[in-house]
A and B are shown apart, each in its own frame.
Chain A
C-alpha cells in the first residue's frame, strides 16, 4: 500500500516568509510525528500527535513553529517568519498504536531559507 507522503518535496523561501509543509500518513495510522534533520545532523523530534490526545509539542524549537492534524489524518507543519537556521529536511512519520509498532517515515521536505 501507499507509504507516508510529504509535500512539497523541496521548498525555497525567503527569510521572513511563512511556509506550510504537509504530511499524509499511512491510512489507518493513528500516531503522527514530525522531525527535522539539519545538514549533517541526526534527526530532531519536533511534535507528536496520538489519536485525540493533546499533541506532545516538547520538541518545537520556538513559537514560530506550529502543527495541526485535521480529522486524525493529514498534518500540516507551519513555520512563521522563517529564519536561515530553519533550513533543514523536515520528516514525517506515522505508526499504528499497539505492541510491535514501528514508525514509517516519509521522504521529507527539503526547506531552504535564503
Chain B
C-alpha cells in the first residue's frame, strides 16, 4: 500500500501557484519524498525529491515540514501544460520499486 495520502483532485488558475499537499505520517528516517507527474497518455515524469530540507529546481519547489510528516509541491506559475496527475511517493533512495498511490489530478484552467 502507498504510504502517502493526497487529495484526489485540485483546480488552479493559469499563472497562479499550484500547491499540492501530501501526508506521509509514517515516513521513516531514511526515506525520501519524491514527486512524479503523469500527463495523459504519457509515462510518469520525475519532478523533484527531498529528505529534510526544502528543495527547488527548474520545475518546482518542495516544502517538507520539520517533522517530515507532510510536504507540499509548489508549481510557482502553473500553465495549462501542468495539467496532470501528481504522485507523492516515499522511497529509500537506494533503488527498489516506487509505490504509487492514486495521486492528485491537477486541472489548470485558463
Interface residues of A (CB under 8 A from B): 4, 31, 33, 35, 42-45, 48, 50, 56, 59, 91, 93, 95, 97, 99-108
Question: By the criterion of a CB under 8 Å from any partner CB, how many residues of chain B are at the interface?
Answer: 19
* Chain B residues, CB < 8 A from A102: 34, 46, 49
A42 and B100 contacting across the interface, CB-CB below 8 Å: yes
A104 and B97 contacting across the interface, CB-CB below 8 Å: no
With A91-B43, A106-B43, A108-B43 as contacts: A50 and B93 at CB distance below 8 Å? no
B101 and A42 contacting across the interface, CB-CB below 8 Å: yes
Give the CA-CA distance A33 to B43 in the complex, in Å.
13
Quick one: closest A residue to B98, CB to CB?
A: A103
Give the CA-CA distance A54 to B45 in the complex, in Å.
27
A59 and B34 contacting across the interface, CB-CB below 8 Å: no
